[in-house]
A and B are shown apart, each in its own frame.
Chain A
Amino acid sequence: MSHTEVVDSKEAWGGGTSPFAAGYGKLMMWFFLMSDALSFTGFLAAYGFFRHNYATIWPTAENVFTHFPFMHGHQPLIYVALMTFILIMSSVTMVLAVEAGQRMDKGAVIKWMFWTIIGGLIFVGSQAWEWYHFIHGTELGAFELGIGTVEINGVVEQTQGIIGRWADESKQVLLLPWRETAGDLTSPYITLTGDALKEALANGQAVYGANMTHNEYGHPLFADFFFFITGFHGTHVFSGVVLNFIIFVNVLMGTYEKRGHYEMVEKVGLYWHFVDLVWVFVFTFFYLI
């Protein structure tokens, strides 16, 4: 920097010491994380609103994310639970790296940061895998109803855009996702068979997998929010891995050993814990509720 004015720490903050007792970088990381947390709060609040608004036809994650790598059959929530465990674990290795840095133990910092990066990479890979299955969909697919009406408990309802799932491979019975009470997933679905089914098939379309406008698992907004929120979180994980890697290289080169402190590790540590923190909320609101 061209300007080399020396600021005496006695004169900083009007002569006192920092009321935060924290370095500039760490302080700004905290403020950044607070604003980022507000972004995620907004997204999840919007998600919660629409999930509540369309409670009777909203898909539930346990019926959508049922795959586990290298295994067949119905494995609801197990893989995402494993992903959550991996991210919590990488948060643990990160906090251990920060702790080692405060003891100036370079070897331990290297070891724990290495495992943190590995955990982050596994998590990003798992998310990509989940996206692939969500976009790809099931072999059976689903059916999106066109303009028409259907009678439910004596009330005539519009069918346009409603996603029905096939009861089995013969495709003779279509299950419509209306539930008697919102949120009560145990209440029976409405079925379409025979002539009513024929009529419905004539003015709808088959849907396989999910994209921004169609979603075989249910309301398209579910897919939109899934892509947006997990995508935004995945971007954070990815940039967290990149930041961790840069700091990891610096640790290897002995930059912080020379500087006399490992505060940089603490700063990326804050970011990494934040990523874990957001996932705790995404996991609850997207996968559990």
Chain B
Amino acid sequence: MEHSDQPYKYAQHHSEAEGKKTRRMVWNMFWVLLAITSIEVGLGLIWQDWGIPFHLVKMTFIVMTLVKAYFIVAYYMHLKHEKSFLKNSIIIPYVLLALYLIYMVITEGTYTTFMEYLW
């Protein structure tokens, strides 16, 4: 695969001490993710009995999910510690196109109402 005789320089290596730090971070993140998921499931089971309004529950779920997604991408996928050039070329196109997709669904989605009259 390598066209050069020089050793491959982009592979990441680290020492035992750094590894220890990384492992601690991994397990800390695990407890955070587990805690958020448990709260989500708990909320999903009790919100009707406690009479919490649905739109509030919905927004809480979405915010918690985005927080979880941030932790997974930033720490487990290591994007937080990549070069900003790499970070930006992943995040900026994704966010722009995702917002555009959602905008399209919301505006063009009115079409389904016409479909119902046809049916």
Contact = CB atoms under 8 A, between A and B. Distances in A.
Interface stretch (A36-44, A165-173, A207-215, A225-233): A36-44
A95 B76 contact: yes
A123 to B, nearest CB: 14
Given A19-B83, A276-B72, A280-B72, A26 B4 contact: no
Interface residues of B, number: 58
| Secondary structure call for the B interface | helix
A99 B50 CA distance: 44
A22 B69 contact: no
Contacts of A277: 69, 72-73, 77
Contacts of A22: 10, 82-83, 86
A110 B5 CA distance: 29
Nearest to B53: A184
Given A20-B85, A289-B58, A261 B8 contact: yes
Given A37-B94, A38-B94, A41-B101, A20 B83 contact: yes
Contact of B86 (A5, A30, A276, A289): A30
A248 interface: no
B107 to A, nearest CB: 11
Contacts of B112: 49-50, 53
Given A20-B83, A273-B77, A77 B44 contact: yes
A241 B80 CA distance: 26
A18 to B, nearest CB: 7
Nearest to A25: B1
Interface of B: 3-16, 19, 22-23, 26-27, 30, 33-34, 37, 40-41, 44-45, 48, 51, 54-55, 58, 61-62, 64-65, 68-69, 72-73, 76-77, 82-83, 85-86, 89-90, 93-94, 97-98, 101-102, 105-106, 109, 112
Interface of A: 4-9, 18-23, 26-27, 30-31, 33-34, 37-38, 41-42, 45-46, 48-50, 53, 62, 76-77, 81, 84-85, 88-89, 91-92, 94-96, 99-100, 102-104, 183-186, 259-263, 266, 270, 273-274, 276-277, 280-281, 283-284, 287-289
Given A48-B105, A88-B34, A261-B8, 20 more contacts: A6-B3, A9-B4, A9-B9, A20-B86, A30-B86, A34-B94, A37-B98, A38-B97, A45-B102, A89-B30, A92-B27, A96-B23, A103-B19, A185-B48, A260-B7, A261-B13, A263-B11, A263-B12, A283-B40, A288-B61
